[in-house]
Amino acid sequence: MKSDFVSFFIEFLKILIPPYIAWRLATNSAKQSAKANKTEMREQLRISSKNNEHVKNQAYKLQFCIKELERREYIFEKNLSAINVLQKSVGRYLKAKNPNSEELKMCASQLMEVLHELIFSIGTLQAIVRAASPRFEVEYIQHFDALKKAGEKIEKDVYEMSLLSGNRAKDMKKIKNVNNNGNIAEFLEQLKEMRNFIMQLMFTVIRKMG
């Protein structure tokens, strides 16, 4: 009888233990899988949060670049307007029978004012270009060098105009020299080139912003 009970108990254990072991293994596996999933989920959330922060920072940077580029473009527009006014004033002066040097001096003074504003603002433009789109930096430097060279020449001419004495013969000689040296036309051209470059960069930044 005892032997039958032992045999029965052993057979019972044979039936019970394998499913129990399988259940324990499945439970442990599920726990490990859940733990791994939680770890992976936390990592994905961390990466997603980091990416979102990067996207936000990038958007803020591009918005700042657009704002600064718009401000620089406005300064260029003012210089273009002032140099155009001066160019026309020089033309009127050379054609007039009794030219008025005061008009030229006033135009020269206005150009000098916006020219100084341009010189001050363009010094930091390279950093804005680099932040907005680094691939444009080399092109910017080329435009900058050409504009700087033309600006130095026109600055001397404008200074000469500011010293007009009212002596018709002397003043006429100065203005003819300014008109014939081509500096006004060259500066105007370089202003347009840089203004167009800024506009092109602005369109590029807007496309980046989506």
d(CA 108, CA 114) in angstroms, rounded, equals: 10
d(CA 107, CA 142) in angstroms, rounded, equals: 29
Overall pTM > 0.85:
no
CB burial of 16-25 (b: ≥16 within 10 Å; e: otherwise) equals eeeeeeeeee
Q: Answer yes or no: is pLDDT of 145 > 70.
A: yes
Query: Residue 65 in contact with residue 132, Cβ under 8 Å?
Result: yes
What CATH number was assigned to the domain covering residues 64-209?
1.20.120
Q: How confident is the model at residue 191 (pLDDT cuts 50, 70, 90)?
A: very high
d(CA 16, CA 73) in angstroms, rounded, equals: 84
Helix or strand run (H / E) with residue 164: none
- Between 73 and 4, whose confidence is greater? 73
Domain ranges of the chain: 64-209
d(CA 175, CA 178) in angstroms, rounded, equals: 5
Structure confidence by residue, pLDDT tens digits, 31-68? 665 565 556 656 565 655 566 676 777 788 888 989 99
